[in-house]
Structure 1
Amino acid sequence: MSGQKAIFPKARALRSFWASRRHVVRGLGSHSASNPRVCVVGGGPAGFYTAQHLLKGRQDVEVDIYERLPVPFGLVRFGVAPDHPEVKNVISTFTQTARQARCGFYGNIHVGKDVSVDELLRAYHAVVLSYGAEGNRTMGIPGENLDGVYSAKDFVGWYNGLPSNRELNPRLDCETAVILGQGNVALDIARILLSPIDLLKKTDITQRSLDVLAHSKVRRVLIVGRRGPMQVACTIKEVREMVNLPDTRPEMLPAEFQGVTEALKVLPRPRKRLTELMARTALEAPTEEELERRRKASRVWGFRFFLSPLEVLATTSDPARVTGIRLAVNRLEGSGEGARAVPTGEVEDVACGLLISSIGYKSLAIDAAVPFDPRRAIVPNTMGRVQEAAGLYCSGWVKTGPVGVIATTMNNSFDTARTLMEDMDSGVLDVSAAKPGSLGVRPLLEERGVRPVTFSGWEKIDAEETRRGKADGKPREKLLDVGEMLHLSRT
């Protein structure tokens, strides 16, 4: 009997939650039962862009977005660097989408655990998987689990307030950090490690991370890649930010730029401008003003090229802690974007007390019923249609792999939305039979004790984060505890 007493209040609370949903912006079941109903799994950029295009493209479609965390926006919230607030302006567009009468947002629902994809397919005419890339690509070398070695995904999640990374507490008690990988994320991390604290204080970086960075002893960051200057994966904006970062100076090896100047004239314009900037920084004599700025700088950064990781090093006196990285020295076979790094047989050891692997994110399988290619780490698809799975679609990184920027994800997601609507129009996707949508999912979640967070619930969290940030002169102070988020969303 005591067990029943414990369960009944929770069940009543869940019934009360779902009943209240009938009176909010979009009342459950208030639209025509024959409207096409689409479920989008993942509340990041891919999910919101997919929903946006569907709602714009068909005036009868209803879209529900299911998100594992209580808060929306995915990598816009947890991946974009704190000092790039302009990139986060897209949140206002996503907010407009979520507030539409034909759109519902349900956070705190873990698809694949709280509700299966098969159950969603029974409740909706179509399900779009847009849950991104939550896994890490591993280096596959000895020592990568030593203390002081972190994945870029976890390190970025730590300073951006991802709840699962809040306890990371990275070791920054060393002079030199090495970042493996030369994409935009690698440069974001380098910039955060070397930025003056006074600059970071004005961003939405978490206070917990700010306190750790304020006591950091890191003064030198090397950004290492297996190929050459003409193959780096970052964009000119990120390199320019490093070149102009206060209190820092560049330190690169001119020999690694051999032949680059001669090759510039045949490069496509974006690649040419990026390579020119790196070559000037590495090879040209600085102006008097720049020379003086570099003399005064207390921190150093630089690209290193033609190097691949072989082994993370430790010492016999401290075998659990990283003290360096052994790298294979490479040469290139071929040219341009298709050039391959080939080991020469030589090795180089670089001392460091912090090693961050920024070699890419990867998607994970969400549900045993969903086809998944573990080698490519994507859901196999044709133009967003999941292979051999009627009614199932995908967009974003789970569709293509972790490539491109937010604009790339937008176009990718629009393409999937167009594919889905074409299937509706042609009859490939049967939308003639009524589907219950969220009303069909409601009893399953009630039975499993899952209480979703609506968009209005998120707006309560948002208001509190903004209030806390304003008190410290910041745009927001992100909540790090899921329990606190849930409590606030229901007050």
Structure 2
Amino acid sequence: MPHVVTQACCGDASCVFACPVNAIHPTPDEPDFGLAEMLYIDPVSCVDCGACVTACPVGAISAQDKLTDDQLPFVDVNALFHAEPRDHPAQAPVAPVLARTGGDELRVAIVGSGPAALYTADELLKRPGVRVTVLDRLPTPHGLVRAGVAPDHQTTKGIDRLFRQIEDQDGFAYALGVEVGTDITHAELAAHHHAVVYATGASADRRLGIPGEDLPGSATATAFVAWYNGHPEHADRTFDLSGDRVVVVGNGNVALDVARILATDPDRLSSTDIADHALEALRASSVREIVLLGRRGAADAAFTLPELLGLVARDDIAIAVEGDDLLTASEDATTQQKLQVLRSAAARPARPGARRIVFRFATSPTSLEGTHGVESVLVRRNAVVTDAAGVRRAVATDDTDSIATTLVLRSIGYRGTAIPGVPFDEVTATIPHERGRVLGLPGSYVVGWIKRGPSGFIGTNKSCAQETVDTLVADANAGRLASPIRPARAMLELVESRSGAPVDRAGWRAIDRQERLDGAPAGRPRRKMVRVPELVAAAAVADGPGRRRRRPGRARR
């Protein structure tokens, strides 16, 4: 019985290299690896050995005869990808590890602690003599895995088990609660290390650029996601859930997450790691309908097929589709599958009493209206046309409408933000680089979304990290990295003098342990602490002989 990859796929390709018959594609060396929505197992060549199940860090692979009803559509999804034969070797090629030629200690600072940062640390620590310090402005690591993955996707969050293995390696250290550019400058960080790697992601949202965008009741999906996930900088935010409709501008995976959470019965979320304040607010919510606005047609929707399948499988959420382009033909098999899923969802019988998600395609907001806050969204209908280059574009028409709402969340893309002392390209919102080497700043490197823009999945950062680390190691071998002028401990002492001792690995483990203990009585994976002083106090429990206790420093929310 063949195995099947399901929607929880993280895309880090561990399963690819575990497979003895190269049945999982695309592989990292194939041109469509960075473009695929997930990985797919060929049902014909799979030998049912189960090696991929053990290798998968998020439990996304199962034997076909063990799939749940919700997972059964993935049998066809996996099979369809392999309908066209692929020319590939018997074994997926494993990229060689570029060895260090020197025996001296190599000290590297990594700024950011999300998947890109931790995959980078893992790649570096494959080489002997490397010591890595991972810094983050929050007292907790793991970036969007902790603060971005939806609470009802707990299997995806299971990748933190892999992160724990990375953290446990010799030569790994955390310095959490340290903001580069505020607590320590780039120049100071570079003075204590041979190299500095930036893995700061893309945390800023693109703007709509329409009148009324700054009215109360207009916010970003990113802020809403951070709020329900307990990000300390968003814990005290409020969102108006008193109306019966929320409008989400955009239809990518984040937009689907937001819509799904708003449409989910809070009792169903009570067994997750959703922040307590968000659960309480959702219990009091009056929202019954969430409208997703997509600028182009259904065939151009930004959400992935796995996320769409996960949504339509929910029997407690009603789905409606507005627009007349569901019969659009496409040569792309994945797009055709998306359209078929949307057609099936639109044709389902009504589900009385269920909260409803409405997909409204070929529609753009033109202004947000209201006196003291958002009261409605003015929208226009678009015609989707194909230009001479074969690109489908949205062209505005004179067909307009108004949608009543008190909350609009925009989810139309993300941008990186500049770091003091580090080059930044305002157009691409990334750090300019060549194969991960920051241009114009020797000894500095970049990885993840701040390197390539907001694209790919959790595991995409693995191959991205491999490229950057190979460049860094090659520079070290060639003698292009300057030796630190200050000892490693001096950096911690410098930061401590300014904002208190950083939270180290033991401190993070104390936080993690306490959150899990707090969640256990209610059957929850964890109960998140959402304020910095609370997190720092929990980290201090790990204090022991020779460990400094973090002093309250500059107030951070």
TM-score bracket relative to the smaller structure: 0.7 to 0.9
1:430 to 481, 492, 501: 481
Is 1:394 the equivalent of 2:458?
A: no
Residue equivalent to 2:76: none
Counting only pairs closer than 5 Å after superposition, residues 290-329 of structure 1 correspond to structure 2 as: 291=349, 294-314=350-370, 319-329=371-381
Post-superposition shift, 1:254? 4.9
Percent sequence identity over aligned pairs: 36
1:403 to 443, 455, 469: 455
Matched residues in 1 for 2:484 and 2:352: separation?
70
Kept in 1, the 8 Å contact 2:493–2:501? The answer is no
Post-superposition shift, 1:453? 0.2
Aligned length: 439
Is 1:47 the equivalent of 2:113?
A: no
Counting only pairs closer than 5 Å after superposition, residues 69-108 of structure 1 correspond to structure 2 as: 69-108=138-177
Residue equivalent to 2:338: 274
Counting only pairs closer than 5 Å after superposition, residues 150-189 of structure 1 correspond to structure 2 as: 150-189=219-258
Matched residues in 2 for 1:66 and 1:333: separation?
47
Give the gaps of 5 or more residues in structure 1: 1-31
Q: CA-atom RMSD, angstroms?
A: 1.9
Output one character per residue of 1:41-91: Cα deviation in whole Å (capped at 9) or x when no partner: 0011111111111112x1221111011111110100000000101111111
Is 1:472 the equivalent of 2:522?
A: yes
Post-superposition shift, 1:422? 2.5
The one-letter amino acid of 1:430's match is L
Give the helix-richer structure, 1 or 2. 1
Post-superposition shift, 1:332? 2.3
Kept in 2, the 8 Å contact 1:226–1:341? The answer is yes
Kept in 2, the 8 Å contact 1:363–1:398? The answer is yes
Is 1:339 the equivalent of 2:392?
A: yes
Residue equivalent to 2:409: 356
Kept in 2, the 8 Å contact 1:35–1:434? The answer is no
Post-superposition shift, 1:338? 3.5
Kept in 2, the 8 Å contact 1:33–1:436? The answer is no
Post-superposition shift, 1:252? 1.6
Matched residues in 1 for 2:391 and 2:476: separation?
39
Kept in 2, the 8 Å contact 1:125–1:435? The answer is no
Output one character per residue of 1:77-133: Cα deviation in whole Å (capped at 9) or x when no partner: 000000101111111111111121211111011111111111111111110000112
Post-superposition shift, 1:177? 1.0
RCO higher in structure (CA 8 A, sep ≥6): 1
Post-superposition shift, 1:437? 5.4
Residue equivalent to 2:510: 460
Matched residues in 1 for 2:325 and 2:339: separation?
12
Give the gaps of 5 or more residues in structure 2: 1-101, 542-557
Post-superposition shift, 1:321? 1.8
Matched residues in 2 for 1:434 and 1:171: separation?
51
With structure 2 as the length reference, what TM-score do the two structures score?
0.76
Residue equivalent to 1:23: none
Matched residues in 1 for 2:134 and 2:184: separation?
13
Kept in 2, the 8 Å contact 1:54–1:61? The answer is yes
Matched residues in 2 for 1:437 and 1:275: separation?
59
Kept in 1, the 8 Å contact 2:103–2:129? The answer is no
Kept in 2, the 8 Å contact 1:180–1:356? The answer is yes
Residue equivalent to 1:485: 535
Output one character per residue of 1:1-21: Cα deviation in whole Å (capped at 9) or x when no partner: xxxxxxxxxxxxxxxxxxxxx
SS in 2 for 1:393: strand
Kept in 2, the 8 Å contact 1:378–1:401? The answer is yes
SS in 1 for 2:216: coil
With structure 1 as the length reference, what TM-score do the two structures score?
0.85
Matched residues in 2 for 1:430 and 1:478: separation?
40
Kept in 2, the 8 Å contact 1:34–1:435? The answer is no
Is 1:370 the equivalent of 2:422?
A: yes
Output one character per residue of 1:113-170: Cα deviation in whole Å (capped at 9) or x when no partner: 1111111111111100001122222212111122222201110000000011111121
The one-letter amino acid of 2:362's match is F
Matched residues in 2 for 1:299 and 1:121: separation?
52
Post-superposition shift, 1:246? 3.0
